[in-house]
Amino acid sequence: MTLTEINAPVTADAANGTGNAAGRKYLSFTDDNPDWLARGSVLALLVAVGFLYLWGLSASGYANSFYSAAAQAGSQNWTAWFFGSLDGGNSITVDKPPAAIWLMALSVRLFGLSSWSILVPEALLGVASVGVLYVTVRRSLLNWRGQGTNPLTARNAHWAAMAGAAVFALTPVATLMFRFNNPDALLIFTMVLASYFTVRACEHAGRGWLALAGVALGFGFLTKMMQAFLVLPAFVVAYWFAAPAAWKKKLVDLLVALVTLIASFGWYIAVVELTPASMRPYIGGSQNNSLLELILSYNGLGRITGNETGSVGGGTSTGNWGTTSIGRMFEGVSGGMVSWLIPAALILGVGAILVAIRTWKKHQETSPRTQTPAQALIGGAIIWLGWLVVTGLVFSFMAGIYHDYYTVALAPAIGGAVAIGGAALWAYRGHPAARITLGVTSLGSGVWALVLLLQAGSWYAYLGWAAMALGALAGLAMIWLDQLPILLASSVLIAALGAGLIGPLAYSIDTAATAHTGSIVTAGPVTNTGNSMGGGQGGGPGGQDGGQGGQPPSQTGTQTQGQPPSQAGGTQAQGGPGGTGQGDDGGGNTGMGGLLNGSSAAAEVVTTLQTSGTDYTWVAATVGSQNAASYQLASGYSVMAIGGFNGSDPSPTLDQFKAYVAAGKIHYYIAGSVGQSSSGSNTASDIATWVAENFTATTIDSVTVYDLTQN
């Protein structure tokens, strides 16, 4: 192994000993002289992360049957693929843009419908995201190269980036969502990729790189709409401070990036809005069949204000989704899923910014087009710290629909801030303030790990005491960090990191070993839902035990472990046509699933649906997307989801449904009810009443079914 030694830049502080003295050396690995240890360690990390994300993946079956059914539909019909339809008959779309479904559906087309073909793309996106974060953090640190009495070496930059990548990968909510088929995996990848492009743009005020960041976030929008934009403030501020250019050029660069951002998602909005409604599926989640409405209301400002027309419990900001507060990320399930190193990330991120400010004018500018080391450090710190603060505050105070797994959007920022800040303070460890900050961070991380692990109880409590003891010892040793031999000082730093990662590692292993199905899933052993709805045993989905229509799901649901959605679901008793969803069997129907979980598709019903299935556009229609999805996945034929996810969308209208029946496009109506919002449409109830008045009910394996081809 050959290492290249290069001269550190001479700084204005070289004479007084606070900068890099002339002739000081540090190690670097380059393409011409590769450091195989560094590359090998990165490969080992990615392989380990891949194992964590792929191990036992098929135990979750179809995971969220809502998105699995859309992937199945997209693999059967290209129109359904493009619009993100829930069914191959193109009756209604999912309530998100289709980018994540595009990937899953292509995988299903190539490899057939299975748990692996649906879930592996998310796991691979997770591995790729970890790799991109490593490259991004390392590049920022190499551009800085240290300004303290103990300048950061290239090898230090490598190990700091490795630590940040590990923190990201082991955050329990990341392990959960990279093993699940919600859109969040692709969303995170696009945002991390945009952070890399932003760092590259900051180096030489590169307009092209900044435009690529806009494109990446545009595809993030096509994954989960405006959530992708929560990182924009951090990226804009980072470019403004870190790019070596005049303010006029930076302003033009940002405007160009804005144009590419809008163009990268605007084309899709234009196509959908300009396509006649008769030629495309209904836009699920909207009340007016409009993608723009979905963007601005149900998935937009409604999430902030709580005024989400058509949402379960929606219509007003009444706290249906938990009490909003600054402590939301630290309480209940959210705390154990994401908060382990949030305090450390905040402290270290601020520390990195202070280090950068201290050296802002203490360098030699070789060219106005060359980024200074201080700019590189402050740019990297702003990206991750700004990402963490803005996203965390939005999640903490949003009054609309909130689920604990949303916090996966914080995981990359936590890893990046810990790495950047830790490396900066390590380089400045000759200063007492840096050592004290590192020590306090280590102690605090150990104490917080103890608090979270005590909540889990059992043997996790012993891990908590171990984490606190290790964090305290490492924190105390930080006081003499500058006087310790380099090997011992490095060991202290590793011990501090270990104290912070003991808990997340244990939670991540528990998460990977647990099957997760339904719409709401949680990570780790703690299932008390705190501020959010749902959360079943072992981090699974909460059931809805006959909850009253219009209310959020019950917090006392159950989960069947290790079974696909066709076999494991909620325990909600379903009503018959027009039922209340309050446990009334309404005709003996007890076989359906709930609002948030896939139904338990009875074998006899599936067999009935498959009979002459090719003769109909939809072999059946039923209220709610989860109910329809599970029957569709089990039968292999399209099932119409009346009312969309919540049963509250006006799709189809009663007249449209009558026309479909008259044309012989729907074979069966499967009775059932889901919790509906008082602010949504009553179409589902109207259809149920019409069916009950005009067709004869039969019972198949305790499920009420109507044959719509016979009066």
Q: What is the pLDDT of residue 309?
A: 64
Burial, 662: exposed, middle or buried (Cβ in 10 Å; 0-12, 13-18, 19+)? Answer: exposed
Q: What is the pLDDT of residue 609?
A: 93
| pLDDT for 153 beyond 50 | yes
Torsional sign, CA 619, 624, 629, 635: negative
Contact present, 453 and 344 (Cβ < 8 Å) = no
Segment 539-545 shows an average pLDDT of 34
Q: What is the pLDDT of residue 15?
A: 31
Which residues lie closer than 8 Å to 354 by C-beta, 6 or more apart?
none
346-358 pLDDT tens trace: 999 999 999 988 8
| pLDDT for 420 beyond 50 | yes
Q: How many Å separate Cα 92 from the centre of its chain?
A: 24
Residue 66 tokens, joined = 């809502």
Residue 705: name the closest of 674, 676, 666, 675 by CA: 666
Segment 644-664 shows an average pLDDT of 93
b/e map 526-557, b = 16+ CB within 10 Å: bbebbbbbbbbebbbbbbbbbbebbbbbbbeb
| pLDDT for 5 beyond 80 | no
> How many beta carbons lie within 10 A of that of residue 326, not counting itself?
10
Q: What is the pLDDT of residue 573?
A: 30
Segment 72-81 shows an average pLDDT of 97
Going from N- to C-terminal start, the domains of the chain cover 4-506, 545-551+564-711
Q: How many Å separate Cα 297 from the centre of its chain?
A: 20
| pLDDT for 12 beyond 60 | no
Burial, 27: exposed, middle or buried (Cβ in 10 Å; 0-12, 13-18, 19+)? Answer: middle
b/e map 87-113, b = 16+ CB within 10 Å: bbbbbbbbbbbbbbbbbbbbbbbeeeb
Residue 495 tokens, joined = 């011990």
Band (31; pLDDT cuts 50, 70, 90): very low
Q: What is the pLDDT of residue 482?
A: 86
Q: What is the DSSP string of 607-668?
A: HHHHTTGGG-SEEEEEESHHHHHHHHHHHSS-EEEETTTTT-S--S-HHHHHHHHHTT-EEE
Torsional sign, CA 413, 416, 419, 424: negative
602-637 pLDDT tens trace: 889 999 999 888 999 999 999 999 999 999 999 999
- d(Cα 426, Cα 156) in Å, to the nearest integer? 9
Segment 48-76 shows an average pLDDT of 96
Mean pLDDT of the chain: 83
Distances (CA, A) of 217 to 187, 224, 293, 550, 709: 9, 10, 20, 34, 48
Rg (CA), the chain: 27
Place of tokens 């106005």: 368
| pLDDT for 566 beyond 70 | no
Q: What is the pLDDT of residue 673?
A: 63
> How many beta carbons lie within 10 A of that of residue 467, not counting itself?
26
φ, ψ (nearest 5 deg) of residue 622: -155, 160
Long-range contacts of the stretch 491-498 (C-beta < 8 A, 24+): 493/422, 493/426, 493/438, 495/442, 495/470, 496/438, 496/441, 496/442, 496/445, 496/470, 496/471, 497/163, 497/422, 498/470
φ, ψ (nearest 5 deg) of residue 642: -70, 125
Indicate left, alpha or beta for 319 from its phi (over 0: left) and psi (-120 to 50: alpha). Answer: left
Band (564; pLDDT cuts 50, 70, 90): very low
194-229 pLDDT tens trace: 999 999 999 999 999 999 999 999 999 999 999 999
Segment 435-442 shows an average pLDDT of 96
pTM: 0.86
- d(Cα 78, Cα 435) in Å, to the nearest integer? 59
Q: What is the pLDDT of residue 653?
A: 95
32-58 pLDDT tens trace: 345 788 889 999 999 999 999 999 999
Q: What is the pLDDT of residue 534?
A: 34
Q: What is the pLDDT of residue 535?
A: 33
Q: What is the pLDDT of residue 167?
A: 98
Which residues lie closer than 8 Å to 31 by C-beta, 6 or more apart?
none
Partners of residue 666 on adjacent β-strands: 618
Q: What is the pLDDT of residue 370?
A: 78
295-334 pLDDT tens trace: 988 888 878 877 766 555 443 444 566 788 899 999 989 9
